[in-house]
Structure 1
Amino acid sequence: MRYYQLAAGDDGRLCVETGGDVYDLTSANRGIRGFGDLVSASSISDVPIDDVTDRLLGELDPLDPDAVEGTDRPPVAADEVWAAGVTYSISEQAREEESTMPDMYLNVYDSSRPEVFFKATPSRVVGPNDQVGIRSDSDWDVPEPELAVVLYQGEIVGYTIGNDMSSRSIEGENPLYLPQAKVYDRCCSIGPCVRSADSIDDPHDLEMSMEISRDGRTLYEEATSTAEMVRTVPELVECYARHNAVPEMSVLLTGTSLVPDDGFTLQEGDVVDIEIDDIGTLTNSVVEV
């Protein structure tokens, strides 16, 4: 099942897409306004998330599918977003090439401890069909398409798509500038939905693709698989949660293996489409911040 967040005045509505139809779960239970509410109900009742949804569906009539296609709300209200880096071979190579200290990335790629870092607060996260940001003090900016893990109290409950926007020029100048290269206004996008963990057969075998277009022309189009990831999802989650007071709802991005050529940088107005099998397509335009 795929879960979408829709706006409803000052509050939200949680919708689910199943069997080709879309249903408004909030209309079945006003206490279920977001994915976090649904997960909390699942935890309290000790019933799988999708089973709780089946009980809520009852006699609900389906909505127009366009109701979820146009949403610009992140599908989950995560208290924090974290990210993992150097989890694919091409990512390690790209960061070596951009850096003045390339050996450190090779050491992380081969190390037993992965790179895990803080990425965004809720105010820095945008949803589908919204604008992601590139910094005005950077001249080399790229999107990073990633499988994103949705966590409830540190446990895996779903998957979504993440765009870990990055300033390669700032990070490449000095690795200590990583927070400035990664954490800024509109630095992260997630969406368009959350796919329940139970409905994903294997998160390590998902096709992932990215297309970047400018004025209607495709500038970049490549595909990969999460099977290329050198780390496992449970390994990254365990490292993130280890000795860390994780919030109730969080998202962990798992790294990228789709990296545009060194001569490419995003411009305002570009459109980034990221697609992952069984989840959907995350679309964002680009704005300078």
Structure 2
Amino acid sequence: MKLVRFGAPGEEKPGIVGPEGEIRDLSSHVPDISGAHLDARTLARLRALDPAGLPRAPEGARLGPCVGNIGKFMCIGLNYSDHAAESGLPIPEHPILFMKANSAISGANDDVVLPRGSTRSDWEVELGVVIGKAAKYVSEAEALEHVAGYCICNDVSERSFQLDLTGQWTKGKSCDTFGPIGPWLVTADEIADPQALEMGLELNGTRMQHGTTATMIFSVAQIISHLSQLFTLHPGDVISTGTPPGVGMGMKPEPRYLKEGDVMEVWIEGLGRQRQEVRADV
């Protein structure tokens, strides 16, 4: 089941993707696609609906962030060994955690806006994990039972803010529009193995990133278990699990960063595609 949120920013309605790729309105069955409505019972009820009997969303409706009212937007750094190598950094012994401000969250196809002073904004295709059941002190064996579904995240990063404004990676990760998620939330029952998903990113039609979640240093289950030892993961929390190689910062002989007019296309097997045009803030 593919769940979406469609409509103008701040006015999104819940929806479901129909058999022909059309968006159907779920407003009469659930208030929103958010943590309060990602429990197993609600998802089973929505899964039992016939999308053909639901109203169609307006043609060309904007797709908002696929999860509303996100509590925590957590990100795992350097979680692919080849990305750590291109960054010139050692493989971590434990998952590296940083946060994105929730004000960074945007729709899958919304513009990415370069903040004032940006000189080194970069791209990162990542698998997003959406929590559906509270997790505290869970084992790796039971960790995936707490997942409602998966989505694409583009962990857009301003490297100079991240690395030169010392003290916290979050500074370079939290700019407005730097957290596109979606286009839809694919429920966990449709993803047989989150560690076997091909993924990639194209910039202006040229492939920059290509990898697979099989090469993660820490698996989805390991990440959830680890974080749950530190704090409770709540329904609607999102974890962005790291990126494969091919980011602009790691390009040789010269890094390549985002500029106004660029177009990113981001995809993960089974989870759809994103498309973002880049523009500068005014």
1:119 CA displacement: 1.4
1:116 CA displacement: 1.2
SS in structure 2 of the partner of residue 191 of structure 1: coil
1:93 CA displacement: 1.9
Matched, 1:19 2:19: yes
Report the RMSD for the aligned CA atoms in angstroms. 2.6
Matched, 1:144 2:124: yes
- Write 1 or 2 for the structure with the bigger share of strand: 1
SS in structure 2 of the partner of residue 227 of structure 1: helix
How many residue pairs get aligned? The number is 264
1:242 CA displacement: 2.4
Matched, 1:130 2:117: no
Q: Which residue of 1 aligns with 2:143?
A: none
1:4-39, CA deviations, whole angstroms, 9 ceiling, x for partnerless residues? 11128975422212433546352542x443244541
1:125 CA displacement: 0.7
Match of 1:82 among 51, 74, 83: 74
Matched, 1:275 2:274: no
The separation in 1 between residues aligned to 2:83 and 2:165, in whole angstroms, is 17
Match of 2:185 among 194, 198, 211: 194
The separation in 2 between residues aligned to 1:183 and 1:83, in whole angstroms, is 11
Match of 1:54 among 47, 66, 71: 47
Q: Which residue of 1 aligns with 2:223?
A: 236
Q: Which residue of 2 aligns with 1:157?
A: 148
- The 5 Å alignment of 1:195-210 reads 195-210=186-201
Matched residues, percent identical? 25
Q: Which runs of 5+ in 1 are unaligned?
A: 97-104
1:236 CA displacement: 1.1
Q: Which runs of 5+ in 2 are unaligned?
A: 136-145
The separation in 2 between residues aligned to 1:189 and 1:23, in whole angstroms, is 19
Q: Which residue of 2 aligns with 1:102?
A: none
The separation in 1 between residues aligned to 2:121 and 2:23, in whole angstroms, is 38
Residue type of the partner of 2:179? C
State the TM-score, normalizing by the size of structure 2: 0.83
1:133 CA displacement: 3.1
- Write 1 or 2 for the structure with the bigger share of helix: 1
State the TM-score, normalizing by the size of structure 1: 0.81
Q: Bigger CA drift: 12-21 or 257-266?
A: 12-21
Q: Is the Cα–Cα contact under 8 Å of residues 65 and 183 in structure 2 kept in the other structure?
A: yes
Q: Which residue of 2 aligns with 1:100?
A: none
Q: Is the Cα–Cα contact under 8 Å of residues 116 and 239 in structure 1 kept in the other structure?
A: no
Q: Which residue of 2 aligns with 1:101?
A: none
Q: Which residue of 1 aligns with 2:87?
A: 95
- Could you say if the C-alpha distance between residues 57 and 8 of structure 1 is closer, same or farther in structure 2, counting changes exceeding 3 Å? farther
- Could you say if the C-alpha distance between residues 61 and 249 of structure 1 is closer, same or farther in structure 2, counting changes exceeding 3 Å? closer
Q: Which residue of 1 aligns with 2:236?
A: 249
Q: Which residue of 2 aligns with 1:223?
A: 210
- Could you say if the C-alpha distance between residues 284 and 6 of structure 1 is closer, same or farther in structure 2, counting changes exceeding 3 Å? same
Q: Which residue of 2 aligns with 1:259?
A: 247
- Could you say if the C-alpha distance between residues 70 and 210 of structure 1 is closer, same or farther in structure 2, counting changes exceeding 3 Å? farther
Residue type of the partner of 1:138? S
The separation in 2 between residues aligned to 1:267 and 1:140, in whole angstroms, is 9
Match of 1:182 among 150, 173, 185: 173
Q: Is the Cα–Cα contact under 8 Å of residues 131 and 284 in structure 1 kept in the other structure?
A: yes
1:230-281, CA deviations, whole angstroms, 9 ceiling, x for partnerless residues? 2100111222332224443111000001323142010022111101111100
The separation in 2 between residues aligned to 1:170 and 1:37, in whole angstroms, is 34
- Could you say if the C-alpha distance between residues 59 and 142 of structure 1 is closer, same or farther in structure 2, counting changes exceeding 3 Å? closer
1:55 CA displacement: 2.8
Q: Is the Cα–Cα contact under 8 Å of residues 15 and 25 in structure 1 kept in the other structure?
A: yes
